[in-house]
Structure 1
Amino acid sequence: MNKNVVVYSSDSCVYCKEAKNYLRSIGVDFEERNISKDQSARKELMSKGFMGVPVIMVEQEIIQGFDRRKLDELLR
């Protein structure tokens, strides 16, 4: 089953790159919202109460940071 995955990221974030590379390596499609390039994505992220990236949404569940174990759990 393919779940809806959104990754809030920025150009300078090492953990964002790791998270995106991991998702690609396991064949998960995701939508990237880059807060460095997209002010509306930045505002959206801040409205959810977050100031840093990565923030990964799997359906309605939110992971702050790159937590591979939690990500694997939510993608099952």
Structure 2
Amino acid sequence: MVNVEVFSSDKCKNCVELKKYFKENNIEYKEHNISRDQEARKNLIKLGYMSVPFSLINGEHVLGFDIIRIKQLLNTK
């Protein structure tokens, strides 16, 4: 089973596209919205990032909506 976490914000177009991609491909994910949750923002910074979207896929970091990297980590085509 794939473990996917997404750090996003309310005003991020790429965040919307990333979550749409996951939903369309039936990929479950846990969302951390940094616009609404200060703890999520702190956790993102602790991971060494300050921009979204940022994903953790089975512990691997993906910055942005990097579809090629995401597909590699999910083993999809």
The TM-score range, normalised by the shorter chain, is over 0.9
Shift of residue 57, structure 1, vs aligned partner = 0.5
Structure 1: any 5+ residue segments left out of the alignment? none
**Match for residue 39 of structure 1?**
38
**TM-score (norm: length of structure 2):** 0.95
SS at match of 1:42: helix
- Structure 2 counterparts to residues 1-76 of structure 1, below 5 A: 2-76=1-75
**TM-score (norm: length of structure 1):** 0.96
Q: Cα deviation per residue 1:2-38 (whole Å; 9 max; x = unaligned)?
A: 2000000000000000000001111100000000000
Q: Percent identity?
A: 41
**Counterparts of 1:66 and 1:12 in 2: how far apart (Å)?**
15
The count of aligned residue pairs is: 75
RMSD: 0.6
**Counterparts of 2:56 and 2:43 in 1: how far apart (Å)?**
13
